[in-house]
Amino acid sequence: MNNALPLVIAIPMITAVISLLGRHRPGMQKGVGLAGSLALLSTSIAILAGVLLEGILSVQIGNWPAPYGITLVADVLSSLLTLVAAVVVLLVSIASWTEIDPDRVAFGYHPLLHILTMGICGSFLTGDVFNLYVWFEVMLISSFVLLGFGGERAQLEGTTKYVTLNLLSSTLFLAGIGVLYGTFGTLNMADLALQLRGPTHAHLAETLATLFLLAFGIKAAVFPLFFWLPASYHTPPVPVSAVFAGLLTKVGIYALVRFFTLIFSGDAAVMHRIILVLAAFTMVVGILGALPQRDFRRIVSFNLISHIGTLLVGLGIFTPLALAGTVFYLMHDIVTKTCLFLFTSIVQRLGGCADIGKLGGLYRSHPFMALLFLLAALSVGGIPPLSGFWGKLILVQAGIAEKEYWLVAAVFGAGFLTLYSMSTLWSEVFWKDRPEAIGDPECECVGRTFLPLSLVTPIGILVFLIVVMGIWPSPFFHLAELAARQLSDPQMYIQKILQGKP
């Protein structure tokens, strides 16, 4: 089972290469993409099963022993996230069949998507800090290209900001690696964790933690480092922003969780407090940002930021229950945000634009899509019994258990405003009549009535997942709890990688 880990990186890469070779044959690209995504999905299922059966899996690339070579590790958290990522990529690549224009396909859209996947999966699985940087860069460059792909004016504007701020994050990451190596002389996460727990060298722990908090905080779009996200996520073609929204920021969150449970968990009380404060601000500032927006995707983008804050809450509280809450919410958030972003496609097809002021009447004309949207939106709003509720409940429970009442108040305040924001979307896009007088030539708002199955099916599946997670939460909670248990007891991880010898 251990040997399956490199497959998770190899499969998207091979898919990308084959797909690049046949980039002028759209049919082949679809087939290859589908096959690759399915292969990735089955591999990640196998890995998750393996982790559940055998415990943490790890493999040393090239068989070089632990701190000297590069390690790939799958614990419950990473394998779970890989699985969810595989699901998202599969669905998004299906949605791309009709939502990406032939020009972009001919220039290699599908290969880029799979390279992005490769970067994401690599980040989830690697146990080496510099390797994580490399996968981040793979992810980053492919996201740059995907974002600017097609070169529309808005895309170029968004890409500029996205590129600049993310390169700043990379610089911070590199600086962090420099300090890390300069201080500890190792790059292996387990080895670092061991050394930071040791008596010596607790020297620069806070500074290091801060460097990584900043670097990953930018990637994860934490307040006050989130500006690149609302500036860019509404500009590329919908499937691109769907996969970004679902996965990219979550990789940042994953990295934060990994670093602040495994490496900087010793006596980092101050850091966890800082994370809590940032989380609270992210939640509130993010959702307040959503209120004045008029563009469908920008509204969802700000919601995305707000929920990044919610995800951090569990990390900040740092009890097993709280971490379980974060993991649960992470699964929910990936699924829901991908779903909402994909919905933009539906809305744009039916309404002709994404300005909620100019949309309307979809409730009457497409009740089934309205129902799907309603479920997704209510889940984001934390209405039970949908996926978003459970994550939030667990976090609130953990927060109250730790007497972090102000934080719980922030969670609730943000939750309330999220509900407000979602009901605005619903009311404007679905309930309201289409405004008759439209004088904007750029937005002719000529809706089509045709919705391709390849778009509706992924959305349907995502909503189905949302409902299943809501109605039948116990298996998901079980997984989240297992992940949290491993995270709160890093000894297992360290021992598995280093196998007793430091």
Partner 1 sequence: MIVAVVVGFVLGLLAPLVVRVARNGTGWITGLVPIGLFAYFASFLNRIQAGETLFFPYPWLSPLGIGLSFRLDGLSLLFALLITGIGTFVCLYSAGYLAGHPDLGKFYGALFAFMASMLGLVLSDNLVALFVFWELTSVTSYLLIGFDSEREAARRAALQALLVTGAGGLALLAAFVLMQQAAGSFEIAILVERSPDLRTSPLYAAIIFLVLTGAATKSAQFPFHFWLPNAMEAPTPVSTYLHAATMVKGGVYLLARLSPVLGGTDLWRDWLIPLGTVTMLTGAWLSLVQVDLKRILAHTTVGALGACVLLIGMGTQGSLQACMVFLLAHGLYKGSLFLVAGIVDHETGTRNAADLGRLGRAMPLTCIGALLAALSSAGVYPFLGFLGKELLYESTLVGFTPVLLAPCAVAAGIAFAGMGAVVGVRPFFSAQGRFSGQPHDPSPGMWVGPVLLGMVGLLFGLFHGPLHSALITPAVRSCILQAGDIPTPSWHGLDVKLALSALSLLMGGALYWKWSALRGRLCRWRNVGRYGPAAGYDHALCLLEAFARRQTRFFQSGRLNVYLIIVICTAVALLACALVRDNISFSDLVLQRWADVKTYEAVIAAILLTATVVTVRAQSMLVAVVALGVVGYCVAVVYLLFSAPDVAMTQFAIETLSVILLMVVLLRLPRLRTFSTSRQRLRDALVAVSAGLITTLLVLVVTTQARNPKLADFYARNSLVLAKGRNVVNVILVDFRGFDTLGEITVLAVAAIGVYSLVKLGSHRDRIPEGPPFGGEARGDDVSP
Partner 2 sequence: MTVEVELALTVGGLYAAGLYMVLRRSIVKLVIGLALLGHAANLLIFTMGGLVRGQPPLMHPWDTRLWGRFADPVPEALILTAIVIGFGVQAFAIVLIKRIYLDMGTEDLRELQSTDITP
Closest-CA residue to 196 (of 118, 97, 286, 266) = 266
Helices 474-488 and 387-401 pack at an angle, to 10 degrees, of 40
Task: Please check whether residue 218 is in contact with residue 225, taking contact to mean a CB–CB distance below 8 angstroms.
Answer: yes
Q: Which of 24, 294, 364, 448 binds partner 1 (CB under 8 A)?
A: 364
Q: Does 231 bind partner 1 (CB under 8 A)?
A: yes
* Token output for 209: 């933690």
Minimum distance between the CB of residue 234 and partner 2, rounded to whole angstroms? 7
Interface residue with partner 2 among 25, 161, 272, 434 (CB under 8 A) is: 161
In degrees, to the nearest 5, what angle opens at C-alpha 92 toward C-alphas 129 and 156? 75
- 496 interacts with partner 2 by CB under 8 A: no
Which among 299, 295, 311 is positioned nearest to 348, based on CA atoms?
Answer: 295
What is the closest distance, in whole angstroms, from the C-beta atom of residue 386 to partner 2 in the complex?
Answer: 29
Nearest distance from residue 294's CB to partner 2, in Å?
5
Closer residue to partner 1, CB minimum distance, 39 or 118: 118
Query: In the window 291-330, what residues touch partner 2 (CB under 8 A)?
Result: 292-294
The closest alpha carbon to 275, from 208, 332, 192, 214, belongs to 214
Sole residue written with tokens 């700043």? 168
How far apart are the C-alpha atoms of 217 and 198, rounded to whole Å? 27
What 8-state DSSP symbol labels residue 62?
G
Q: Which two tokens stand for residue 256?
A: 């934060």
Min CB(499)–partner 1 separation in Å: 16
Q: Which of 54, 103, 444, 489 binds partner 1 (CB under 8 A)?
A: 103
Q: Which of partner 2, partner 1, none lies near 416, with the C-beta cut-off 5 to 8 A by kind?
A: partner 1
- Chosen residue from 104, 114, 234, 258 binding partner 2 by CB under 8 A: 234
> Exactly one of 34, 144, 419, 488 binds partner 2 (CB under 8 A); which one?
144
Q: What Rg value do the Cα atoms of the chain yield, rounded?
A: 22
Q: Exactly one of 391, 415, 447, 458 binds partner 1 (CB under 8 A); which one?
A: 415
Q: How many residues bind partner 1 (CB under 8 A)?
A: 111
Rounded least distance, CB 206 to partner 1, Å: 4
Q: Report how far residue 351's alpha carbon sits from residue 430's, in angstroms, rounded to the nearest whole number.
A: 10
Residues 164-193 within binding reach of partner 2 (CB under 8 A): 164, 167-168, 170-171, 174-175, 177-179, 181-182, 187
| Residue 145 touching partner 1 (CB under 8 A) | yes
Contact letters for partner 1, residues 19-58 (x by CB under 8 A)? ----------------------------------------
Looking up tokens 């599969």 gives: 90
- CA-nearest of 8, 4, 3 to 86 is 8
Please report, as residue ranges, which positions from 293 to 322 form the binding site for partner 1 (by CB under 8 A): 293, 302
Alpha carbon separation from 196 to 172, 215, 268 (Å, rounded): 20, 20, 11
206 token code pair: 């806070």
Calculate the alpha carbon distances from 321 to 220, 270, 327, 469 in Å: 22, 20, 10, 18
Token pair 């620069």 in the structure block, residue: 204
Member of 233, 343, 477, 493 binding partner 1 (CB under 8 A): 477
Task: Convert residues 423-452 into a mask of x (bound to partner 1 by CB under 8 A) and - (unbound).
Answer: xx--x--xxxx-------------------
| Kind and range of the H or E run holding 335 | helix 320-351
Closer CB to partner 1, residue 36 or residue 111? 111
Separation of alpha carbons 235 and 151, rounded Å: 10
- Examine residue 265 and tell whether it contacts partner 1 (CB under 8 A): no
Is 130 one of the binding residues for partner 2 (CB under 8 A)?
Answer: yes
Contact footprint for partner 2 (CB under 8 A): 130, 133-134, 137, 140-141, 144-145, 148, 151, 153-154, 156-161, 163-164, 167-168, 170-171, 174-175, 177-179, 181-182, 187, 230-231, 234-235, 289, 292-294
